[in-house]
Structure 1
Amino acid sequence: MPEHTPASPEALFRHGLRLLLDKDIPAWISLWDEDGVMEFPFAPEGWPRRLEGKAAVAAYMRDYPDHIDLRDIPDLRVHRTEDPGTIVVEMRAEGRVVATGAAYDMTYIAVVTFRNGLITGYRDYWNPLAVREPGVDFTGSTR
C-alpha cells in the first residue's frame, strides 16, 4: 500500500471525497485498483452501467469538474459490513451545474470495496431522474 494511502476503507473513502471536492480527479483516480469496477445499477438506457478498469473510470471522470462544481458533502454516513474491505456509504453532495449555474443537490448510496488500500469496486445507487438539466448527463459530462 502506498505510504500516502489511508489504512482503513472509511479513511480512504473520506480522503477520496476530499480529492473530489478539491477537483483533483487524477489523485482520485490514483486511489483505484487497475482492475477496479464502477457500476450504476439505476442508469437509464444509453448511460453506462458498468465501467471496467481504472482507465475506464478515469475516462468517465476526467471532465467531471468542468460539468459539476462539487462544493460540499454535508451529510455523510459510513456503515461497516461483515467484510472488512467493504463499506456502505450514504451521502449528500451539493454544488452547481457549471453549464447552467443550477443547484446540484444529490443523495447517494454506494457500496464500495477495497483491497490493498485501493478501490476495487464502487456500486453507485443514485437517482438519475434528479438531474434534469438539458445537455448535461448524470456524470456531469455533456451529451
Structure 2
Amino acid sequence: MTAPMTPAELYRHGLQLLLQKDIPGWVDLWDEDGVLEFPFAPEGWPVRLESKAAVGDYMRHYPDHVDMHDFPEVTVHETTVPETIVVEMRGVGRLVESDTPFGMTYIAVVTVKDGLISSYRDYWNPLAVQQPGADFVGAN
C-alpha cells in the first residue's frame, strides 16, 4: 500500500495534469464538496465554485482559452496546519484566441482532506485579464 500524496505532491501532480491538458484528471483530484474561490475576481467572473462538478464545469474549456506551457516558478510553503499549503507560482503559455504570450503570477491557499483538494483559494491578478483584447478562462 502506498502512502497518500502530501498536499504539496498532490498540488505539483495537478500542475503536471494541467500542462498535459488533462482537465478531467485535474478535476479528479477534488473532493466532491470541494470549494474553489477567487477572492479578487472582477465583476462578472465567478467568486466561489462549490462542488467538484462546479469546478469541472468551470475548467472544462480551460485549454480552449489558455495553452499553458510551463510553471517555471513554484514555491510551496508548508503551514502549521499539515493539510494546508500556500503556493507561489508563475504560469506561462499563450492565449489561444489572440495567439499572444500569457504569463500570470498566482498565490494559492490549498487544503487537502483525505487525499483530495477540499479548498482552493486562488489569488490571481484580475488586472492582467482586464486589458483590451485579454482572453482568459472564466470571462463572459
TM-score of the two chains, using structure 1 as the length reference = 0.92
Instruction: Give unpaired runs (5+ residues) of structure 2.
Output: none
TM-superposed deviation, 1:46 = 1.1
> 8 Å contact 2:36–2:50 — kept in the other structure?
yes
Q: What is the RMSD of the two structures over their aligned residues, measured on CA atoms?
A: 1.7
Alignment of 1:1-143 (within 5 A): 6-131=4-129, 132=131, 134=133, 136-137=135-136, 140-141=137-138, 143=140
Equivalent AA in structure 2 for residue 126 of structure 1: W
1:141/1:40 CA distance change after superposition, 3 Å: closer
Aligned residues, how many?
139
> 8 Å contact 1:29–1:58 — kept in the other structure?
yes
SS of the residue corresponding to residue 47 of structure 1 reads coil
C-alpha separation between the residues in 1 aligned to 2:103 and 2:6? Answer: 28
> 8 Å contact 1:110–1:125 — kept in the other structure?
yes
Amino-acid identity (%): 60
TM-score of the two chains, using structure 2 as the length reference = 0.93
C-alpha separation between the residues in 1 aligned to 2:63 and 2:94? Answer: 10
Please list every run of at least 4 consecutive aligned residues from structure 1 whose deviation after the TM superposition is greater than 6 angstroms: none
Equivalent AA in structure 1 for residue 12 of structure 2: R
C-alpha separation between the residues in 2 aligned to 1:44 and 1:4? Answer: 42
